[in-house]
Structure 1
Amino acid sequence: MAYQNIDGVRVWGNPEEGALVQAKLCADTGNVVQALLMADHHKGYSQPIGGVVVYEGQISPSGVGYDIGCGNKAVRTNLYAADIKPRLAQIMDEIARSISFGMGRVNQEKVDHELFDDPDWSVYEAIGKQEHDKLKVLARNQLGTVGSGNHFVDLFEEMETGRLWIGNHFGSRGFGHKTASGFLNLAAGRAFMDKAPGEKMDQPPVLLDLNSELGDMYYRAMKLAGRYAYAGRDYVIQEVLSILGTAADFEVHTHHNYAWKETHNGEEVVVVRKGATPSAPGQVGFIGGSMGDISVIVKGKDTVENRDAYYSTVHGAGRVMSRTQAAGKMNWKTRSRSGGQISTQQMLDAVRDFGVELRGAGTDESPFVYRKLQEVLDAHAETIEVLNVLRPIGVCMAGADEIDPYKD
């Protein structure tokens, strides 16, 4: 097997001590069947990024995290990359103009969606009319916006065929963030709309019994936030297809911050994946690398090792440098940073050398802060098959100093 068993935690790739400590704490808290670390793991809030925890009859709002339903969508267009390369700069300008990154929205026309008539909004009505109304307004205002942090809209060239792909990465925005903090508040005996509880990175996971009223409410709210994330990614992909004047003939769409009810070893369990992609046999996923690296379309294998992984794999390359280490500390009064290890010029040179037309982004998202994607894919070679290798040619993200309280 390619994984190690370290104090009961199944670990792919090179163990990162901080994340392993968090995984062990998760493994020792609640009705845990198994805890795992994917090869792109690093420290997160309570449950590590790249961490998977399998529960019997329980769900973890802190494990799913604040960006409920964060995930990726990728589509293969009817175009070839060569068709658009002569006007790539103008296309990326149009994507940056037309799609809302960071806070606020540039596409002023609000996106209507059947989701706003979903019966699971009754969860918030049960909490309170004010809470329901505020969250629905926030959700309406932000549907179809991308946010900041590591969230992106990219154009890719498929290395095997030259076909043009579009990919994006973001989640449920402020609606998901306030849903997560609200249920963490309720679990702590506080009011739903109170300020989010203090985040201690290494605190034990917050657990809810699925058969409890609060656990059932959270599960329904989480699923609603997940559908909201899907709707947002669908909208943004359609906008880019419209800019390109083309259609898609294949799509991949998955969450990687979510909890699923699944059957493993004949038992129904709850699999909480934070920064981990589902990879059941035959299931197709999109795994993004950095802006100076490949991304891939993968398919889960029917192997013993994939079963041992509870059909989970990496969601990206995994950070090796924190945002503050890379970009330095931000002084919001002077709008300046100091102490960063990566300069803007270093980032721009690296991205240009890789052949990428970049819009937005800060040095905390530069290629230098991530592992090489192939390294983490190699660690999971017995669990996933790479179907397509995608090379980024256009990357669009929020600006370097964009404030967004809902980023991943």
Structure 2
Amino acid sequence: MGSKISGKDLIKLGFPQNNTINIGLAQIQRYRKREKKESILLEIKEVLTDPAKFSGDGTWGKVAESLVKPVEVRMHELLKQRVPFSIFGEDLIDEQAKFQLYDALKLPISVAGALMPDAHAGYGLPIGGVLATHQAVIPYGVGVDIGCRMSLSIFDLPASYMKGKDAMLLNILAEHTKFGMYETHRNKSDHEILNRSEFLEIPLLKGLQDKAYRQLGTSGGGNHFVEFGIIDILETRPGWKMGKGSYLAVLSHSGSRGLGANIAKHYTYLAKKQCPLPRHVQHLAWLDLNTHDGQEYWLAMNLAGDYAAACHENIHHRIAKALGKRTILTVENHHNFAWKELVNGQECIVHRKGATPASKGTLGIIPGSMTAPGYLVEGLGHPGSLNSASHGAGRLYSRANAKANFTKAELKNSLVDAGVQVIGGSIDELPMAYKDIEKVMYLQQELVQVLGMFRPKFVRMEG
């Protein structure tokens, strides 16, 4: 069997006695260990003979790369000076989050950075952190929940439509939304995303395709939600099929589920192996986009982002069908992702970990908590923020501190006071665990213009 292949076998084939042998054995063990030894050796000998033929191949591309142009593995030290950066709403941001950004600004690959007013400490980049890098992507700069995003659907129904329909709307949320690691829809949906070539060409993704199928149209735990509410449209834009006023809307928050989490784990491991850093910043390890692993992560990340979008599409389709109504406008955006964008005329990789894209004219959603309003916004394209804005209110208390400082009674009272009904939810997600969204919005007036305000009324979360 393939698992019995040794370094001596590869040396006999003519492999150079360097790290290429270790890479070859690792790829065999990870992806081909159940196959016959003879067939594996025939394939890998072909890689040795013609490595260019296997460039980009899911299994052998990394081996081919090592034969032609090995990835340089060396310890990277932080620079003494930070690259340029801006902080918005500094007084609202904890010191740990600032220091996490300061460390990221000293990476040899960094070009510029920013911190949004909802920022708080995370792993790698802080939540609310934005970092532009040169030809490199940081898996933990994107985040574990790749492509975590907001989606808002507005119906051609006045806010008054909700009156007297509490039971109906709560039932739609209970029956047609699924949350957490184990809930899935009884009637599964197919989607073109599941037929993407990356699922066949990247071995890691091949093993995740079934999970992606099962979890399509579901939401994660924690702060992920689906909710009915009222959207007050304050400003309209050309092409919108509605005027100013108040409408029924659905707002959802979720990401790429198990698919994205597994991608993040796998490529963070590879990044740490290839890019050793001082221990306190090891979560900022990067992948060079000119390497096999860097290119493969970029493809996998984009697939995860598109999958997250497909999940929201499915969620909103199910709800609209149950409601028996059509939407007249949908607005959505990622807030855990990396994009190729120009920064000071130079193409960079812009990581937004818990930050909303806000280039000039770009629409986005900035939610509050389960009782606080969210905002439909248009970006103003502020260069200091790297064309970004906050992704929400941001946490005031960590999950552990929220559980230690608040009670179920306080959660219940806050919901009653706000006139909001919740299915699921937990103490660590109660409104008091979050910053004041109105303060956050005030501190980013130069980043976004508010076009509408969403008021949650019926909320579904895990639990």
TM-score by length of 1: 0.86
> What is the aligned partner in structure 1 of residue 106 from structure 2?
28
Structure 2 residue 227 is matched with structure 1 residue 154: yes
Instruction: Report how far residue 187 of structure 1 moved.
Output: 2.6
1:222 to 1:7, Cα distance in 2 relative to 1, 3 A: closer
- Amino acid paired to 1:176: G
8 A contact 1:300–1:385 mirrored in 2: yes
C-alpha distance in 2 between matches for 1:274 and 1:324: 21
> Percent identity between the aligned chains?
35
Indicate conservation of the 8 Å contact 1:358/1:394, yes or no: yes
Does the 8 Å CA contact 2:174/2:460 hold for their aligned counterparts? Answer: yes
- Alignment partner of 1:136 is 2:209: yes
What is the CA distance between 1:383 and its match in structure 2?
Answer: 1.6
Encode CA deviations 1:256-282: one digit per residue, 9 max, x unaligned. 000000122221111000000000100
Q: Distance in 2 between matches of 1:62 and 1:45?
A: 7
Specify whether residues 204 and 66 from structure 1 end up closer, same or farther in structure 2 by C-alpha distance, changes over 3 A only.
closer
Candidates 232, 236, 255, aligned match of 1:171: 255
| Correspondence for 1:380 | 444
Comparing 137-146 with 46-55, greater Cα deviation is found at 137-146
Aligned to 1:235: 314
CA RMSD of aligned residues (A): 1.7
Deviates further, 148-157 or 160-169:
160-169
Find the structure with the greater CA-based Rg. 2
In structure 1, the partner of 2:8 is none
- Give the count of matched residue pairs: 365
| Unmatched 5+ stretches in structure 1 | 1-5, 126-130, 191-199, 328-339, 400-408
CA contact (8 A) 2:118 2:390 kept: yes
SS in 2 for 1:320: coil
Answer yes or no: is the 8 Å Cα contact 2:225–2:252 preserved in 1.
Answer: yes
d(CA) in 1 for partners of 2:132, 2:88: 16
Structure 1 residues 170 and 94: CA distance shift in structure 2, 3 A: same
Please give the alpha-carbon distance, in whole angstroms, between the structure 1 residues aligned to 2:143 and 2:356: 15
1:123 offset after TM fit, Å? 4.5
User: Structure 2 matches for 1:253-292, cutoff 5 A?
Assistant: 253-292=332-371
1: CA distance, partners of 2:179 / 2:260: 17
Q: Structure 1 residues 144-153 or 28-37, which shifts more?
A: 28-37
Moved over 3 A (4+): 6-9, 200-204
The corresponding residue for 1:396 is: 460
Greater helix fraction, Structure 1 or Structure 2: 2
Within 1, Cα distance between the matches of 2:231 and 2:216?
Answer: 29
**8 Å contact kept, 1:26–1:204:** no
Aligned match of 2:42: none
- How far residue 188 of structure 1 moved from its aligned partner, in angstroms, is 3.7
* 2:294 is the alignment partner of 1:221: no
2:167 is aligned to 89
- Matched residue type, 1:341: N
Higher RCO (C-alpha under 8 Å, 6+ residues apart): 1
Q: What is the Cα deviation at residue 201 of structure 1?
A: 8.1
1:95 is displaced (CA, Å) by: 1.0
Greater share of strand residues, 1 or 2?
Answer: 1
Offset from partner CA, 1:52-94 (integer Å, 9 cap, x none)? 0001111110110110000100011111221123112332133
Separation (CA, whole Å) in 2 of partners of 1:176 and 1:215 = 16
Deviation at 1:206, TM superposition (A): 1.5
How much does 1:132 deviate?
3.9
What CA distance in whole angstroms lies between the structure 1 residues aligned with 2:272 and 2:88?
A: 34
1:225-283 superposed Cα distances (whole Å, 9 cap, x missing partner): 00000000110011111222211111111100000001222211110000000001000
Q: Secondary structure at the match of 1:258?
A: strand
Distance 1:202 1:56 in 2: 18
Post-superposition shift, 1:105? 2.7
Q: Distance in 2 between matches of 1:365 and 1:349?
A: 14
> Cα offset for 1:44?
0.5
Instruction: Map 1:2-401 to 2 at 5 A.
Output: 8-13=84-89, 14=91, 15-125=93-203, 131-159=204-232, 161-189=245-273, 203-302=282-381, 306-327=382-403, 340-399=404-463
